[in-house]
Amino acid sequence: MHRRDFLKFTGLASGTLVLGGAAAAGYMSGADKTGNTGWGRAPYAKDQFFNRKPFFVTTPTYEKVGTPQRIQYLDNLFRRNGELGMHIRSLGEGGLESVKGEGISSLPQELKAYYTEHPSAFEEFFLTRESAKQQRERWPEHRNQYLLAEAWSKAHASPLKGREAYPPQPQGPPEEWDFEGVNPDPLKLKSPQHGSELIKKITHTFGATLVGVTAIKEEWVYQGILRGVGKTNFAKPAHWKNAIVFAIPHEWESFYANPTYGTSYEAYTMLRFIAGKLETFIREIGFSSRSHVPPNSYDLIIPPLAIDAGLGEQGRHGVVITPELGANTRLAAVSTDMPLEPDKPVDLGIMKFCNKCKICAEECPSGAISFDDKPTKVVRGYRRWCTDQDKCFKAWNQVATSSARGCRVCLAVCPYSRKNNWIHTFARELDPRDPTGFTASTMLAMQKQFFDYPGGSQYLPPPDGNNKTYGKAPDWLRTEEWFDF
Amino acid sequence: MSMGVLIALFFTGLRYWLADASITMNWWKWLILSAWFLFLAITVAAAFTLMGEGEWTAGKRFLLFFGIVLLLAGSGIWKLLKKV
């Protein structure tokens, strides 16, 4: 062979090897577990974080259109259903049928007022109860297939049980409880900046992926019930000055296999441990503190606080979307009187993307997510997309799980919920810097054309659907990989 | 480093392939050709990244779509290289 031919064919072989190398490197990058942000080899290293500085704004991207109002506790689905459930139980046997038959007018005053304003929520309550009954009856058919998923979820839920749940629920008014065990001889903090920096570092060491700080606005405080006190109308306590808001993702592989393989409890319990430790830490250095943790131990509404703290923006599905974790962002907070420098909110174009996207609305098994082109509903003084909580909860009671433990399909299908590897990092860096919106439109077109989505009802069990999950369940949650049945 | 060696060998070989095809190269032609090869490598890497994530269908569709785009662009570039 001539030298010239040798070089020509060596070149050809080298070009092929370069492309093969690109394929191999790409595949390894995609499969690499360190792309699972928040769980990787460097839990709070610099390369984990999106640089928010170029996107700081003075006011958050949610739109204020009136006088803000505090959220009444009955606006919270779980509290509302809890109240109605208690009322039904208080009536004894036949209570459910009696309340259903007599209607809203038979309810105690507060519930009557709420359901008169939201009659569809009253109807959904009974439909959900029926769905829950069917879910329980159907569970034996699915138990073997989802044995590991159920066991995994129950394992994560186990620290939430009963009075021993951590952190302990407040006992007594905030002016007492939040100060219990506070160091009586605190040192002088050098500055609020020092305070914020320290608290963020500490919260990361407790396991938080993202941490932000914001002042607590009055309108983000629940009204009508106060943990440790009970039902009461109260003013925001003076010492609830700042909130430390933090986020972690769900375990990514189970998260993509929602609704049946994932669980909310896994992130919830981790958040509770972080919050409880942070609560103790803050008291030890001389300041009051109070945890606000999932599933329902809140006196503050956390998502708007997270937006104020610059963690992300509100998504169409009502969940905060962050650049690092997308909608795989689970939140908790600790309120404190510690002097802290607040973070700035950000505008990353997420809400604008949500205007066009609608994938979560298309995929929602219960049709609970708004298809409006822009946020249209005014809720307590803010214009926003509104997710129908009652419809959403009904789907929890329909999917093939043993009980209502969430759905999370909207979070899994969100185009922002992508791992921390080069291709998604490139997209999340490019999109917010493109003022034309071309990048967003192109990515959305690719998302819709290239990716497979089962479609709303397919996530439900037969006959309505086929128990589909968004992604394939990991082997460690697939019973058939480990057991004969 | 081995990737760098392979790329150098590829371009060395390419030089002879182009010369044998009677194509005279200049700086902008090399630039276009390099950019095309870079996009090809990125497309392959991106498609396989999606496959590595478990998004096999998305990866295959991505490769098919951008593969066709790159094939068409490549044929256009080849004609341009020969013509000018």
Span A199-250, pLDDT tens digits: 999 999 999 999 999 999 999 999 999 999 999 999 999 999 999 999 999 9
State which residue of chain A sits closest to B61, comparing Cα positions.
A450
Contact criterion met (CB < 8 Å) for B6 and A21? yes
**Is A260 part of any domain?**
yes
Alpha-carbon gap: B64 to the closest alpha carbon of chain A (Å): 10
Report d(CA A322, CA A345) in Å as an integer. Answer: 12
Q: For residue A241, what are its two tokens? A: 């000055």
Q: How confident is the model at residue B15 (pLDDT cuts 50, 70, 90)?
A: confident
The answer for residues whose C-beta is within 8 angstroms of residue A389's C-beta and 6 or more apart is A77, A121, A368
Higher pLDDT, A405 or A281: A281
pLDDT value, residue A390: 93
Residue with tokens 């499969």: A31
pLDDT > 70: percent of chain A: 98
Domain total in chain B: 1
CB contact under 8 A, B20 and A421: no
Residue A475 lies in domain: 46-75+118-481
Please report whether residue A98 resides in a domain.
no
Q: Using N-to-C axis directions, what is the helix angle for A77-90 and A389-396, rounded to 10°?
A: 70
Q: Is residue B48 part of a domain?
A: yes
Report whether pLDDT(A187) > 90. yes
Chain A: nearest CA to B72, how far in angstroms? 18
* Residue A113 binned pLDDT confidence (cut-offs 50, 70, 90): very high
A9 touches B at CB < 8 Å: yes
Within-domain flag for A18: no
Q: What pLDDT score was predicted for residue A301? A: 96
Q: Is residue B66 situated within a structural domain? A: yes
Residue among B13, B14, B45 whose CB faces A25 most closely: B45
Task: Return d(Cα A223, Cα A110) in angstroms, integer.
Answer: 13
pLDDT tens readout for residues A465-481: 999 999 999 999 999 99
> For the whole model, what pTM was predicted?
0.92
Contact A427/A434 with Cβ under 8 angstroms?
Answer: no
- Residue A170 included in any domain: yes
Cβ of residue B27 closer than 8 Å to a chain A Cβ: no
Domain for residue B8, yes or no? Answer: no
**Contact between chains at B49 and A451 (C-beta distance less than 8 A):** no
- A16 in a structural domain: no
Q: Which amino acid is at A189?
A: L
Tally of domains in chain A:
1
Domain membership of residue A372 (yes or no) is yes
Q: Does B64 touch chain A (CB under 8 A)?
A: no
* Model confidence pLDDT, tens digit, residues B35-71: 999 999 999 999 999 999 989 999 999 999 999 999 9
Quick check: is B13 in a domain?
Answer: no
Both tokens of residue B28?
């902008």
Residue B49 near chain A (CB below 8 Å): yes
* C-alpha–C-alpha distance, residues A222 and A233, integer Å: 9
What's the mean pLDDT in A93-108?
90
Residue B43 lies in a domain: yes
Predicted local distance difference test score (pLDDT) of residue B18: 84
Is the Cβ pair A14, B53 closer than 8 Å?
A: no
Residues 6+ apart with CB under 8 A from A262: A149, A250, A254, A255, A256, A406, A408, A412
d(CA A346, CA A432) in angstroms, rounded, equals 11
- Is A4 in CB contact (< 8 Å) with chain B? yes
B-contacting residues in A 202-231 (Cβ below 8 Å): none
Q: Is B56 on the interface with A (CB under 8 A)?
A: no
Domain assignment present for residue B3? The answer is no
Residue of B nearest to A420 (CA): B53
Residue length of chain A: 485
A18 touches chain B (CB under 8 A): yes
Mutate which: A36, A423, A449, A453, vs B, most B CBs within 10 A: A423
Confidence class of residue A40 from pLDDT cuts 50, 70 and 90?
low
The answer to whether residue A164 is domain-embedded is yes
pLDDT-derived band at A58 (thresholds 50, 70, 90) equals: very high
Residue A38 is predicted with a pLDDT of: 64
Q: What is the pLDDT of chain A when averaged over all its residues?
A: 93
Interchain CB distance below 8 Å, A23 and B46: no
**Chain A touched by B71 (CB under 8 Å):** no
- The answer to whether residues A275 and A167 touch, using CB atoms and an 8 Å cutoff, is yes
Beta carbons of A96 and A133 less than 8 angstroms apart: no
- Chain A window 250-289: which residues touch B at a Cβ cutoff of 8 Å? 256
Distance in angstroms (rounded) separating the CA atoms of residues A304 and A121: 24
Chain A CB within 8 Å of residue B16 CB: yes
Please give the interface size between A and B, counted as residue pairs whose CB atoms are below 8 Å apart: 111
Dist CA A262 CA A244 (whole Å): 27
Contact (CB<8Å) B9/A421: no
Assess if residue A95 is contained within a domain: no
CB contact under 8 A, B49 and A27: yes
Is A273 within 8 Å of A330 (Cβ atoms)?
A: no
- With b for 16 or more beta-carbon neighbours within 10 A and e for fewer, the A143-177 pattern comes to eebbbbbbebbeebbeebeeeebebeebeeebeeb
Are B48 and A421 in contact (CB < 8 Å)? no
For B49, which of A8, A17, A30 is closest by C-beta distance? A30
Can you give the residue range of the structural domain that contains B48? Answer: 26-83
Q: What is the 3-state secondary structure (H, E, C) of A5-38?
A: HHHHHHHHHHHHHHHHHHHHHHHHHHHCHHHCCC
The predicted structure's pLDDT at residue A35? 76
| Whether A24 contacts chain B with CB within 8 A | yes
Query: For chain A, how far is it from start to end, CA to CA, in angstroms?
Result: 62
